[in-house]
Amino acid sequence: MNLKHISLSVENHVGKITISNPPTLNALNSLIIKELGQAIDVVAADSDIYVLIITGDGRSFVAGADISEMVNLNPELGKAFGETGSSVFRKIEKLEKPVIAAVNGFALGGGCELALSCDIRIASENAKFGQPEVGLGICPGFSGTVRMAKLLGPGKAKELIFTGRVIGAAEALEIGLVNSVVKQEDIMDKAMEMAGMIAVKAPFAVKYSKEAINNAMDFDSEQSIEMENILFGKCFSTEDQKEGMAAFLAKRKPLFTNK
């Protein structure tokens, strides 16, 4: 995969996407958003990747969207730019593989929205989160209002978005924006450790679990329960279900093959 600002590596069934444009602290422009979408498509099609980590190069995860690219947009182009980012982030959210955000610094604006589109967020102690868009005369445009409200509740989401306040990793952990906080030098080790714990589980079971949880956020309880039951039933069509239960009964470790 030959991209300018995005690299993808794979090790032990764990994919890692790194966003790299250090002069702008990895700010999202149209090219980076496009390349990120292309990389996600590659991950989706690669049956050898069970878990994905997304991180940023240098001292920033993603510092926001590229303001210089947005400054002269009209309403139609602004809507189109928002739709472009939102579609890629929705692709991440719906990816049939767990996605871990390793937030190694600034995650502001579009960067915070990118982290929110991931399933799990691990932050370094120096990470900073926020949706400062209102200070620029705009609202969040890459689905930040939707995902933050679902994750934190509408009251806390409104507080953070209306004030544009930037918070540190400790507060992000306290309010449930991130799952854990580690030292800067340990963040990739922690992300790889968690990814490794997931990668040894049955991929179909993890995939269906992610789908069921996402359904619970998008539909009412009755629909979500019905869809979970369907997914539960589908697990019994896989070889991994047979292996997992046989291994349990035999008191040995299972060896899953993603079949």
**What residues pair up with 8 in beta bridges, in sequence order?**
17
Which token pair is 218?
Answer: 């998008």
Q: Please indicate whether residue 133 is annotated as part of the active site.
A: yes
In angstroms, the Cα distances linking 69 to 3, 45, 106 are 20, 31, 19
For 169, the 3-state DSSP assignment is: helix
Q: Which of 96, 113, 171, 193 is catalytic?
A: 113
Q: Running DSSP on this structure, what letter comes out for residue 5? A: S
Q: Which of 69, 83, 133, 211 is catalytic?
A: 133
Q: Say which residues have a Cβ less than 8 Å from residue 66's Cβ, sequence separation at least 6.
A: 24, 27, 28, 29
What H or E segment, with its residue span, contains residue 167?
strand 167-168
Distance CA 120, CA 178 (A): 7
For 172, the 3-state DSSP assignment is: helix
- Residues assigned a catalytic role: 113, 133
